Each structure stands twice: as C-alpha cells, then as structure tokens.
Amino acid sequence: MNSVNLTRPDVTLRLTREGLIVAATMMEHDRIETVAGWHGRHWHETVTAAGVETIRRLVDEALASGVSSFAPVNQMFPGGAEIPLEYTTVSLGENGGLIAIGRRFNVVADVEARLIESRRTMESNHWRLRESEPRDDLVFNAAADPMLLLDPETSVILRANPAARQALGAACTGRFLDLLTEPRRRSFAATLRQVRNDGQAPGVIAAIGPDRISWIVRISLIETGPAPSLLLHLSHPDNLTDTPANRAIHPTLIARLPDGFVVMDSEGIIEQANLAFLELVEAGSESVVHAQPLDRWLKRGTADIAIILDLIRNHGTLIRLPVVLRGEFGAEHMVELSASAAGGMIGLLIRDISRESRPADSTGAPGPLARALQSLSWDIGATTIHEAVDETVAVVERHFITTALAQVAGNRKAAAALIGLSRQSLYLKMNRYGLE
C-alpha cells in the first residue's frame, strides 16, 4: 500500500486572478497522466459540471479574503480519468495571481473513516469494561483467599477484599513493599518489575505484616480501567505450620544445639538463629542477624547463596558443603553446611571444621588425597621435575573434582563454583581424567 503525505498537495495549479490555468504540477505518486492539456484553460472547465460553481466560489473567496475554504470537486484529467480532489485557493497578492492546492478527497475521507472507527471501538471497549466491572467486583470480594490490588509503579495498595482485610488488618493500607523486611523488599520489588514487563511471575513466599506471617504470593497484571493494576493472590504455604505455639518452641530447641543452626526462607533471609551461629559470625545478639541474608557472612570465592539455594531447590537437601564464614570483625571459620527444606522454609546446620585435622581420618590413617600422593613414585633421573609436577597436579585436580561433585550431588555448575573453575574448564578436566 502506498502511503500519502497529507501535508503535501497532490495537485498544484498556478492561476491568474480570473481563474485561468498558467501552470499545473502533480505529485510523483499521482503522475498517472500528463496535465499539460490544462494550460491556458479556465479552471472550472477542468472539473465536472457539478463542480463549476464550487470552483468559481473558491476563486471569489481567495480574491476577497486571501484564502478560501476547502471544497471537494471531481477533477477531470486530459486522459479521461476522473478523481475526487479537495481544493483550497490562496491569493498571491494583487499582481501575483492565485494558487490552487488539491488533495485526494478519498485519502482524507479514509482518514476520517479510520478516526470514526477508532472512536467507535474505544466506546465499545469502554462500555464492555463498564459491564464487566460489577462481575469482577463480585469475584474479587467473594474470594476466600486474601486478594490485593496494587499500583504497578508505587506498590500502593488500591483495594483489598474482605479476606485480606481480615487476615492483614491495618496492614492493608499504604505501600505493600513497606510491609516486608528490607532484604525481602528488594527481591520482591524485582518480582514486581518482572510482572510489569512480562505480565506474570512465579509465586514467591513472603512474610507480611508486623506479625511476619508467611504467605505464598502470586502476582499478575490485569486491566482495571484506564491503567493496569497488579493483582496479588495470597495463600498459606502447604505444610507450613507457622503458628504462635510453634514459633515459641523453635528457639528453645535451636539454642541447645552445639553447632550453628539457622532457619531461613527460600530467598536465604535468616528468620531465626542459635547462639552457636552468633558466635561464628561474631554477632552480639539475634537481632543483628534477623532478616539479614546469609550471604552477608559467606566469604567471597566460596559457594555463594545462589548456589546453596539452587542445590536445596533441586535436591531438597544439602550434605556437608564446605564454605568459609567471615565474622563481623573479620574472623574466618571453615564450616560445613547441611540443610533440608519444607513448607518454603530452610533449616541449615553449620558445623565448624576449622580446628579439625584434614589430612587423616579419625583412625589416624592418611586421607584419600594423602594416600593418592603417597602412591606416586619418582626416581631421580628416571622422572624429570616437570613430570613429577604434572603427576601431582593431576592427582590434586582429580581429588578436588571428585570430592566437589560428591558434595553437591553431581551438580557440575555448583562443583565448578566450589573449586573455583569455570564450567567449561571443569568439563575439560573431567574429560581429561575420565570422570564423565
């Protein structure tokens, strides 16, 4: 389809003040035939009989006021074509004659028709939306689960159904993000951005309100009038018994463990911690670690919280993953992490192994790496130093790779991060040592 620029004329006529055509030009896209045959003729002679009076009126208006109104006529071309055009006429002064500017009338009419159709569509959508609003209100208010409508940009709560008002009470007003702890607030804001961009996001678990009750929050983007809103559907996590009685029992049990123990949510945010963990990270009280990410005390270069959570998410448990904890005042401890997950929460056992002797086992026998190194035999003269170094490196690398894979249940991505290799380097070394 050829586009037509309505700001430029399709036909331009240079006229004398008596309406005699002196020159005529056409736009390139309309040059279907010549207009040279109009030269020297009166303008009204080039239109159909119905347009003669219209042409005379346009000339008179231009002579009287300088510019005429727009008027449609059927323009007859020398080759016999008849095309509807809309003309206006402009005076060039007493001695300058006139200029007639014509545009295809069907193009103008097409634009007007499109505008009318667009307006009809908008009105139809408006009334259809108005008719659906009462039904949507009934569903929203009758829902058994808490439901909230948020402003997508500010997270301000626009509406709350009766179930939400009963469950959250005074927390049903203001910004929804203010109802979350600071670490959770940042991750939840990222989830809201994903919903604004994609229309939806996976459900997340969040502790909401002053009582920090955990909910599964599912978010979707819906149309609610002139601007969309975020619909939050809250439901209790399966098998999550977060009652006041249970919350009172947990601290007593956790505090008596000789090893560090923390309870954290699915994003790695600490909910509870015992005294042994506080001593490891040099925290004066539980308030220092509460609502903080565990990643805050993991030394860089060891497995980070993303790898730990990924392992727990994929396998449901974590068994003796070695990492280094760095305390508030710089003390470092080599620890082993073991974990299990249930109901959207994670229990993490943290065992300090920094004082243990690693080369031998409990019987005093050398460890697997020491035994592998002892099996190497180097005869001076028969083995060069470079060969000895290569053999030693191969034994150490093989030991690190097999041990890391065993600790992360075969997860190669986590194993690579654990021993400081890229995944590509890990694959190459596994292939070299026949560990595929």
| pLDDT at residue number 139 | 66
Average pLDDT over residues 281-292: 85
Average pLDDT over residues 223-237: 78
Whether the pLDDT of residue 382 is over 90: the answer is: no
Give the contacts of 389 (CB within 8 A, at least 6 positions apart). Answer: none
User: Contact 286/278 with Cβ under 8 angstroms?
Assistant: yes
- Pick the closest to residue 13 from 65, 75, 64 (CA basis): 75
pLDDT in tens, 398-417: 888 888 887 777 788 878 87
Average pLDDT over residues 336-360: 77
Q: How far apart are CA 333 and CA 320, in angstroms?
A: 15
- What does pLDDT average to over the chain? 77
Q: How far apart are CA 61 and CA 69, in angstroms?
A: 8
pLDDT in tens, 42-61: 999 999 998 999 999 999 99
Q: How far apart are CA 262 and CA 291, in angstroms?
A: 11
| pLDDT at residue number 53 | 93
Across 209-259, the runs of DSSP E, i.e. the strands, are 213-223, 228-235
pLDDT in tens, 324-334: 888 888 888 88
pLDDT in tens, 188-208: 888 888 888 877 776 777 778
Higher local confidence (pLDDT), 166 or 89: 89
- Pick the closest to residue 15 from 69, 55, 51 (CA basis): 55
| pLDDT at residue number 4 | 37
- Pick the closest to residue 40 from 11, 58, 19, 61 (CA basis): 19
> Domains along the chain?
11-110 (3.30.450.20), 143-235 (3.30.450.20), 244-432 (3.30.450.20)
| pLDDT at residue number 246 | 45
User: Contact 262/308 with Cβ under 8 angstroms?
Assistant: no
Cα end-to-end span (Å), the chain: 60
Q: How far apart are CA 44 and CA 55, in angstroms?
A: 6
| pLDDT at residue number 56 | 92
Q: How far apart are CA 172 and CA 308, in angstroms?
A: 34
| pLDDT at residue number 9 | 63
| pLDDT at residue number 58 | 92
| pLDDT at residue number 98 | 92
Burial class (CB in 10 A: 0-12, 13-18, 19+), 273: buried
| pLDDT at residue number 137 | 65
| pLDDT at residue number 57 | 92
Q: What are the distances in angstroms from CA 260 to CA 2, 250, 320, 419? A: 75, 14, 13, 24
pLDDT in tens, 206-216: 778 777 777 88
Higher local confidence (pLDDT), 385 or 338: 338
